[in-house]
Amino acid sequence: MRRIGVIGAGQMGSGIAQVCAAGGLDVRMVDVADDVLARARETVERNLGRQVARGKMSDGDMQAAMARISAGTDYAVFGDCDLVIEAATENEEVKREVFKKLVPHLGPDTLVATNTSSISITRLAASTDRPGRFVGMHFMNPVPVMQLVELIRGIQTEQATFEAVRELAQRLGKTVSVAEDFPAFIVNRILLPMINEAVYTLYEGVGSVESIDTALKLGANHPMGPLELADFIGLDTCLAIMHVLYDGLADSKYRPCPLLVKYVEAGWLGRKTNRGFYDYGGETPVPTR
């Protein structure tokens, strides 16, 4: 593979573009607005600059990586890509619309991957004209730092597609974990119910935000407490994944906590809105409960 398309220039999309460009691949990044794309390029340049400052990359390599990233709003740029990775919002209808808009611009042999963290690969693949050349490629956040990529094949995914994308992930320096196409796959099937249970623990008054996060950091040696992690992921994303688990597996243990629902309804989505289980308006995050 030489040319990679990325749909979405948010936190995940820009991270995927960064690791692909740093890995020597030409990247075409598309989003709906030029200002989003400009911010994404600034983020990538800042992140690569940190690697230069730490001696992990030369300035020349950084400039070469930045030159390999082109950005725009027209899906026509994906016409000569070997693989297009979708990194849009974690919403099935949004993703279906993206694929509907994408497929007319693709070459017959282009592979398509989705960065979904929870949605059925089989269903998403069926919404395209190439289910055999469609695969789940779930990068962890933040993409340049986290080593894991979950690879998920839908029921229609061809072996050649799966192997090509596995090889790409390894070329990017990632470790691959293969998951079956069940709701939320491996990481979020385990992680999100833990976060949801932490919210229930807060909701039921068992502990405060600070005591819950301190308990898991020091008692289970987690680098971040579950509520701090929820704010980092985005509470809307956490809720969306819990809905996928609850709807897909029909088990009451996956019922989203009412407090998580209330925070999302209030627009308190975590770090990206400066308020979630913590208030990020000052120099130090302050618990909101």
Q: Which helix (H) or strand (E) holds 4?
A: strand 3-7
Could you give the percent of the chain with pLDDT greater than 90? 99
| Mean pLDDT estimate for the chain | 96
The pTM of the full predicted model, rounded to 2 decimals, is 0.91
- Mean pLDDT throughout 259-267? 98
Residue 176 bridge partners (DSSP): 149
pLDDT in tens, 216-246: 999 999 999 999 999 999 999 999 999 999 9
Domains of the chain: 3-179 (3.40.50.720), 189-287 (1.10.1040.10)
Q: Give the residue from 182, 191, 289, 281 showing the smallest Cα distance to 233.
A: 191
- Mean pLDDT throughout 153-171? 98
Exposure class string for 71-83: b at 16+ Cβ within 10 A, else e: beeebebbeebbb
Question: What torsion do the CA atoms of 257, 259, 260, 261 make, to the nearest 10 degrees?
Answer: 90
E-assigned strand segments in 34-125: 69-72, 83-86, 111-114
- Residue 207 has a pLDDT of 97
- Residue 208 has a pLDDT of 97
- Residue 268 has a pLDDT of 98
Active-site hit among 86, 90, 115, 138: 138
Please state, in angstroms and rounded to a whole number, the distance separating the CA atoms of residues 287 and 61: 41
Please state, in angstroms and rounded to a whole number, the distance separating the CA atoms of residues 32 and 72: 8
Please state, in angstroms and rounded to a whole number, the distance separating the CA atoms of residues 146 and 20: 14
Please report which confidence band the pLDDT of residue 54 belongs to, taking 50, 70 and 90 as the band edges.
Answer: very high
Active-site residue, 70 included: no
DSSP secondary structure code for residue 110 in this structure: -
Q: Is the peptide bond before 256 cis (omega within 30 degrees of 0)?
A: no
- Mean pLDDT throughout 265-277? 97
Residue 143 bridge partners (DSSP): none
Active-site hit among 118, 150, 196, 228: 150
Active-site residue, 138 included: yes
Active-site hit among 14, 115, 118, 188: 188
Which are the contacts of 162, defined by CB distance < 8 A and separation ≥ 6?
135, 151, 153
Active-site hit among 117, 118, 120, 196: 117
- Residue 116 has a pLDDT of 96
Please report which confidence band the pLDDT of residue 64 belongs to, taking 50, 70 and 90 as the band edges.
Answer: very high
pLDDT in tens, 8-17: 999 999 999 9
DSSP secondary structure code for residue 7 in this structure: E
pLDDT in tens, 79-136: 999 999 999 999 999 999 999 999 999 999 999 999 999 999 999 999 999 999 999 9
- Residue 132 has a pLDDT of 98
Q: Give the residue from 19, 75, 150, 97 showing the smallest Cα distance to 135.
A: 150
Residue 111 bridge partners (DSSP): 83
- Mean pLDDT throughout 158-171? 98
- Residue 58 has a pLDDT of 95
